[in-house]
């Protein structure tokens, strides 16, 4: 059993939890994910690792209520335990194979959309510790949906906040901020985008105009997390890849986003029905 030692709500629908998992905390790397089960008959849920502390033996996860399973997770409290908390899984970010000297000479740009800010944070934190220069764009619908602003600001060189309605930071989409930075001559060795699939698609289209190397994370496609269910199949270049075992990070310019979005929408009606049952107390 894996006990929740800290819980707080970042927004009314987004919960952060520190979970006691010493072995995972020692082996986790930026870009990886884990699998949780609330109880023995519960669904296997893949969640990106948001942070990890090897000294405390804790792993941090962030969950947004979007369906029945995520609602059950967010309803758990400090002192409750997950039946399963397995990981780290997936391939870590490629930059962890680079030396401190190599990373210290590079400049990165991260584009985070909504809940995608959570998996961006450990990558930025790691690169900061290695001496890299990092700019971060965080996008959210409203001011109340902006997360990790303080934490991100402490580990990056420049932080740009964008909200759809202009309630905080700059009004507009993250693609507008991206183009503004590149148009005024900012140069980056590598960009990374993590967030909703539609956001990553348009970040990719925008970055391509500037020949900016770009990596995206397809973590939102994952279901089983082991490659056995096949739900996260995606075309990357001329190959079929599985987001959970081959990724979740891929070269953005090789990803078939339209196919990925079609696959992502396959189970929405089923999940909506399950969430309704969960709300009224009929779900397990």
Determine the Cα–Cα distance for residues 274 and 82; give it in Å rounded to an integer.
20
Determine the Cα–Cα distance for residues 9 and 152; give it in Å rounded to an integer.
17
Question: What local confidence, expressed as pLDDT, does residue 268 receive?
Answer: 59
Question: What local confidence, expressed as pLDDT, does residue 277 receive?
Answer: 45
For 268-280, the pLDDT digits (tens) are: 554 444 444 444 4
Question: What local confidence, expressed as pLDDT, does residue 220 receive?
Answer: 87
For 126-146, the pLDDT digits (tens) are: 999 999 999 999 999 999 999
Determine the Cα–Cα distance for residues 226 and 116; give it in Å rounded to an integer.
21
- Write out the two tokens for 76: 């758990």
| Model confidence at 173: pLDDT above 50 | yes
Domains of the chain in sequence order = 2-89 (2.40.30.10), 94-217 (3.40.50.80)
Q: Which residues partner with 144 through β-bridges?
A: none
Structural contact between residues 257 and 200, judged by C-beta atoms closer than 8 angstroms? yes
Pairing status of strand 214-217 against strand 249-251: antiparallel
Question: What local confidence, expressed as pLDDT, does residue 22 receive?
Answer: 97
Q: What is the mean pLDDT of residues 113-123?
A: 96
Kindly report the average pLDDT of the chain as a whole number: 92
| Model confidence at 248: pLDDT above 90 | yes
What is the CB neighbour count within 10 angstroms for residue 68? 21
Q: What is the mean pLDDT of residues 151-160?
A: 98
Stated pTM of the model: 0.90
Question: What local confidence, expressed as pLDDT, does residue 266 receive?
Answer: 67
Closest by CA position to 17, among listed 52, 67, 46, 66 = 52
For 217-226, the pLDDT digits (tens) are: 999 888 878 7
For 36-60, the pLDDT digits (tens) are: 999 888 888 999 999 999 999 999 9
SS3 state at 229: coil
Pairing status of strand 58-64 against strand 214-217: unpaired
Q: Give percent of the chain with pLDDT exceeding 70.
A: 93
- The residue with tokens 């970040």 is 203
Question: What local confidence, expressed as pLDDT, does residue 278 receive?
Answer: 43
Q: Give percent of the chain with pLDDT exceeding 90.
A: 82
């Amino acid at each position: 059993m894996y006990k929740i030692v800290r819980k707080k709500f970042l927004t009314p629908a987004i919960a952060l939890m520190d979970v006691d998992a010493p072995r995972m905390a020692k082996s986790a790397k930026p870009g990886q994910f884990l699998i949780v089960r609330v109880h023995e008959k519960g669904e296997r849920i893949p969640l990106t690792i948001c942070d990890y502390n090897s000294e405390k033996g804790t792993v941090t996860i962030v969950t947004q209520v979007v369906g029945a399973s995520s609602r059950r997770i967010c309803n758990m409290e400090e002192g409750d335990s997950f039946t399963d908390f397995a990981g780290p899984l997936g391939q870590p970010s490629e930059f962890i194979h680079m030396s401190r000297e190599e990373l210290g000479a590079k400049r990165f740009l991260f584009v985070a959309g909504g809940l995608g800010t959570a998996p961006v944070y450990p990558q930025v934190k790691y690169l900061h510790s290695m001496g890299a220069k990092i700019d971060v764009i965080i996008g959210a619908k409203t001011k109340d949906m902006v997360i990790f602003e303080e934490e991100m600001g402490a580990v990056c060189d420049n932080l740009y906040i964008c909200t759809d309605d202009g309630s905080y930071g700059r009004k507009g989409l993250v693609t507008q901020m991206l183009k503004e930075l590149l148009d005024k001559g900012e140069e980056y060795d590598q960009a990374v985008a993590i967030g909703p699939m539609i956001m990553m698609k348009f970040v990719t289209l925008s970055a391509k105009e500037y020949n900016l190397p770009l990596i995206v994370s397809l973590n939102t496609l994952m279901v089983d997390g082991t490659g056995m269910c096949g739900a996260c199949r995606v075309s990357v270049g001329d190959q079929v890849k599985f987001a959970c075992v081959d990724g979740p990070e891929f070269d953005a310019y090789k990803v078939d986003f339209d196919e990925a979005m079609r696959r992502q929408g396959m189970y929405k009606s089923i999940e909506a029905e399950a969430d309704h049952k969960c709300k009224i107390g009929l779900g397990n």
